[in-house]
Amino acid sequence: MDVIDLLRQLIAINSCPPDAKAPGVGGEGPLADYVGRLLAANGFRVEMHEIAPGRPNLTALPRKYLPDQPLLVLEAHLDTVSAENMVVDPFRAEIKDGRMFGRGACDTKGTMAAMLAALVEVTSSTDLHFNVGFVGTAHEEGGGVGARHLVEAGFKADAVLVGEPTSLQPVVAHKGLLRFAITTQGRACHSSRPQQGENAIDRMWAVQADLYQRFEPFWQALSSQGDNTLSLNTIRGGSFINIVPDRCRIEVDARYEPGTDTDKALSELKAVLLNH
Q: What are phi and psi of 48, to 5 degrees?
A: -130, 140
Q: Is 175 left (phi over 0), alpha (psi -120 to 50) or beta?
A: beta
What does the longest C-alpha to C-alpha distance in the chain come to?
81
CA distance 127 to 244: 72
> How many CB atoms are located within 10 Å of the residue 268 CB?
16
- Catalogue all structural domains in the chain, each as residue range(s) with its CATH number: 3-162 (3.40.630.10), 176-273 (3.30.70.360)
CA distance 40 to 72: 18
- Report yes or no: 77 and 108 within 8 Å, Cβ to Cβ: yes
- Report yes or no: 146 and 51 within 8 Å, Cβ to Cβ: yes
CA atoms within 13 A on the CB side of 96: 7
* DSSP-assigned letter for residue 187: B
Give me the residues paired with residue 255 across strands.
Answer: 177, 229
- Report yes or no: 204 and 263 within 8 Å, Cβ to Cβ: no
Q: What are phi and psi of 236, to 5 degrees?
A: -135, 130
Q: What is the pLDDT of residue 20?
A: 60
Residue by residue, pLDDT tens for the chain (276 residues) are 899 999 999 999 999 988 765 555 679 999 999 999 999 999 999 999 999 998 999 999 999 999 999 999 999 999 999 888 888 899 999 999 999 999 999 999 999 999 999 999 988 776 788 999 999 999 999 788 999 999 999 999 999 999 999 988 888 888 899 999 999 999 999 999 999 999 999 999 999 999 999 999 999 999 988 899 999 999 999 999 999 999 999 999 999 999 999 999 999 999 999 988
Query: Angle 240-243-248 (CA atoms, 0-180°, nearest 5)?
Result: 75
In one-letter notation, the amino acid at residue 87 is V
Angle between helices 29-40 and 3-12 (to 10 degrees): 150
CA distance 10 to 34: 8
- The number of angstroms, rounded, from the C-alpha of 49 to the middle of its chain's C-alpha atoms is 19
CA distance 78 to 109: 8
Q: What is the pLDDT of residue 24?
A: 57
Is beta strand 131-137 parallel, antiparallel or unpaired with respect to 71-77? parallel
CA distance 107 to 11: 11
